[in-house]
Amino acid sequence: MIRRLLIANRGEIALRIIRACRELGITSIAIYSDADVRGPHTLAADHAVRIGGAPAIESYLSISNVVDAARSSKADAVHPGYGFLSENAAFAKACDAAGLVFVGPPAAAIERMGSKIAARTLAIGAGVPVVPGETPSDQSDSGLLAAVEKVGLPVLVKASAGGGGKGMRAIRNSADAASAIQAARREASAAFGDGTLYVERIVDHPHHVEVQVFADSHGRTIHLFERECSVQRRHQKVIEESPSPILTQALRDRMTRAAIDVTKAAGYRNAGTIEFLVEGSNFYFLEMNTRLQVEHPVTEGVTGLDLVRAQLLVAAGESLPWRDADVSQRGHSIEARLYAEDPSQGFLPQAGRLTRYREPHLPGVRIDSGVVEGGEVTVYYDPMIAKVIATAESRELAINRLVAALRAFRVGGIRTNLPFLLRVLDSDAFRRGAIDTGYLDREGSAFAEATIGDGDAESLERPGSEPADEERRKVPSAFDPWNGVAARAPSVRQPPARRKRASSDGHYILTAPMPATVIKIPVKPGDTVQKGDLVVLLEAMKMELPLRAASDGVVAEVRCEEGELVQADAALVELR
């Protein structure tokens, strides 16, 4: 029995776990960094423990700090949520060594399936088809280049550890192969502490369909049907739904059977997801996520089941709380991820204060968020603001409900992808279920043109100049105390930081578009650069931000250092 649970995460998933704890009578213990002292999850839990500085590496990614927090708070179990340490086998082992119940799979299963290379081998052994590829033992640039040549272009170079599109690069031109390999390795090392890569053939125009699986320690392994996740940008999911609009019942049966076979072969326990690429009537095993997924609410929407509650029960040694007869797929559920990012600026992540944040309250609509009005979207973590989930008896009605909910959202102070989501949902390709995994990367520019201020919804910020400080202070509360009716708060428009700043003598300076960490400076004073050359590589909010020369020139001065945290609009490199 679990009595005191430490939640090794933040934001909306931490709040979701806290709610489940309350229903089961479990004491919830939050952890927080210096950036989350007043975070919603910090305030909502029964107890909260500080674990370090704002950077994730000093707090949420520190195994020793998290385990120490569990010990000091007398927790008997740890729930990792998703992201951060959720798929880290060393963390699961550390919890076991400290006598803590890990709410997730055994460390050995995380290790086995956390390596994409090992997972491919296991799937093949279970008789499940995989995407053709190579897993070179020689991890040098030359070894990976040889693997790319053997598989044949176009290919994906992918991180063996982790997921979420991190450490992944597409190679369609041999001239780009070396730089793509280096970028993938660098990103994988930064995100997962493991730069191991493998090469996989690109499947043209596939759909991405995943199967939710669940196993207990009493020999039961079940599936909870599929989720369609093809609406993605740069391998990051944007919209997810269940059931998939492209699956026949025969194909669904084959894929769910394969998902269970892989899960059993992995010696798995608790919630997990088996991901597939679907091409016509064929499907290929892609990977296993050894954790709860961000998009799990759509599965809850069509099954009526509580996955987080079941996670806690199974971790405590109980059997799965559902009989086979209890599990069925009813109606349709769809989720959109609302992000602090600017589609018109290449989806540049945004950071700042939410001067206004009002969630819609509509029938059939669920909002999972970890932010509040007046709170900060920080540079240190993922820029997701909320997940908006709509459930109805048909796909068409679920989409319409989601559109209505997004239009009713009120967000001010930072730019978001809300207009982008609305345009995708309203597109003919989406309505027909015809969007494949590469669609938004090929056609997304038309959707990305929409940005805050173009009037797609009342929640969008209006174009105009930056308001004076006096105007900022006039933002009203949700209700007007003179007449007692809802008041509309004026929005604050924050223009993006400039990528270059010209000087009177013809020099220009590359500046940081937002607070970020300097990852790489491949130039030095006196170097000649050509238009488009990489000058500075930044990282912010889990995303690499390359700054390139706007024209041919010479590096006059470098004003930053690798590893340095720079503020928005900080001068980085001067060119002439």
**Helix, coil or strand: residue 153:** coil
In this predicted model, which residue has the larger pLDDT, 6 or 189? 6
Helices (H), ranges, 3-130:
11-24, 40-44, 63-72, 89-97, 107-114, 116-125
From the list 230, 239, 184, the residue with the least C-alpha distance to 207 is 230
Question: What mean pLDDT do residues 9-34 have?
Answer: 97
Reply yes or no on whether 291 is catalytic.
Answer: yes
Measure the CA–CA gap between 387 and 403, rounded to whole angstroms: 13
Question: What mean pLDDT do residues 362-388 have?
Answer: 95
Where does the pLDDT of residue 468 fall: very low under 50, low under 70, confident under 90, or very high at 90 and above? very low
Contact 270, 214 (CB under 8 A): yes
Note the pLDDT of residue 489.
Answer: 28
User: DSSP secondary-structure letter at 285?
Assistant: E
Strands 77-79 and 101-102: parallel
Chain centroid to CA 189: 17
**Residue listed under structure tokens 């991890």:** 139
Where does the pLDDT of residue 506 fall: very low under 50, low under 70, confident under 90, or very high at 90 and above? low
From the list 447, 328, 337, 324, the residue with the least C-alpha distance to 388 is 337
Task: Count the alpha carbons within 13 Å of 386 in the hemisphere toward its beta carbon.
Answer: 24
- Report residue 198: phi and psi, to 5°: -140, 170
Radius of gyration of the chain (CA): 24
From the list 202, 335, 495, 13, the residue with the least C-alpha distance to 31 is 13
Measure the CA–CA gap between 277 and 573, rounded to whole angstroms: 43
The CA-atom distances, in angstroms, between 423 and each of 395, 444, 445, 446, 465 are 17, 10, 11, 9, 26
What domains lie within the chain, and their CATH numbers? 4-103 (3.40.50.20), 132-201 (3.30.1490.20), 209-322 (3.30.470.20), 331-494 (3.30.470.20), 500-575 (2.40.50.100)
Mind listing the pLDDT tens digit for each residue in 391-423?
999 999 999 999 999 999 999 999 999 999 999
Note the pLDDT of residue 407.
Answer: 96
CB atoms within 10 A of CB 194: 17
Note the pLDDT of residue 449.
Answer: 67
Note the pLDDT of residue 145.
Answer: 96
Measure the CA–CA gap between 131 and 128, rounded to whole angstroms: 10
From the list 288, 158, 159, 266, the residue with the least C-alpha distance to 211 is 288
Measure the CA–CA gap between 482 and 359, rounded to whole angstroms: 23
Q: Checking phi first, is residue 532 left (phi over 0); if not, alpha (psi -120 to 50) or beta?
A: left
Does the pLDDT at position 321 exceed 70?
Answer: yes
Among the options 291, 395, 410, 493, which is catalytic? Answer: 291
Mind listing the pLDDT tens digit for each residue in 59-88?
999 999 999 999 999 999 999 999 999 999
From the list 345, 404, 414, the residue with the least C-alpha distance to 384 is 414
Residues near 111 by beta carbon (within 8 Å), at least 6 away in sequence: 89, 118
Measure the CA–CA gap between 381 and 519, rounded to whole angstroms: 16
Does the pLDDT at position 455 exceed 90?
Answer: no
Mind listing the pLDDT tens digit for each residue in 114-172?
888 889 999 999 999 998 898 888 999 999 999 999 999 999 999 988 666 788 999 99
The CA-atom distances, in angstroms, between 144 and each of 186, 287, 514 are 14, 20, 34
Mind listing the pLDDT tens digit for each residue in 325-355?
889 999 999 999 999 998 888 888 888 999 9
Question: What mean pLDDT do residues 542-568 have?
Answer: 89
CB atoms within 10 A of CB 83: 24
Contact 391, 366 (CB under 8 A): yes
Strands 270-279 and 282-289: antiparallel
Does the pLDDT at position 446 exceed 90?
Answer: no
Measure the CA–CA gap between 546 and 441, rounded to whole angstroms: 18
Measure the CA–CA gap between 55 and 310, rounded to whole angstroms: 32
Contact 245, 229 (CB under 8 A): no
**Using alpha carbons only, what angle is made at residue 354 by residues 352 and 357, rounded to the nearest 5 degrees?**
155
Instruction: Say which range, 152-166, 248-262, 359-373, has the weakest mean pLDDT.
Output: 152-166
User: DSSP secondary-structure letter at 507?
Assistant: -
Instruction: Say which range, 244-253, 368-377, 403-412, 494-503, has the weakest mean pLDDT.
Output: 494-503
Measure the CA–CA gap between 86 and 98, rounded to whole angstroms: 17
Measure the CA–CA gap between 437 and 337, rounded to whole angstroms: 16
Q: What percentage of the chain carries pLDDT values higher than 90?
A: 72
Average pLDDT in the chain: 88
Q: What is the pTM of this model?
A: 0.81
Q: What percentage of the chain carries pLDDT values higher than 70?
A: 89
Question: What mean pLDDT do residues 232-258 have?
Answer: 96
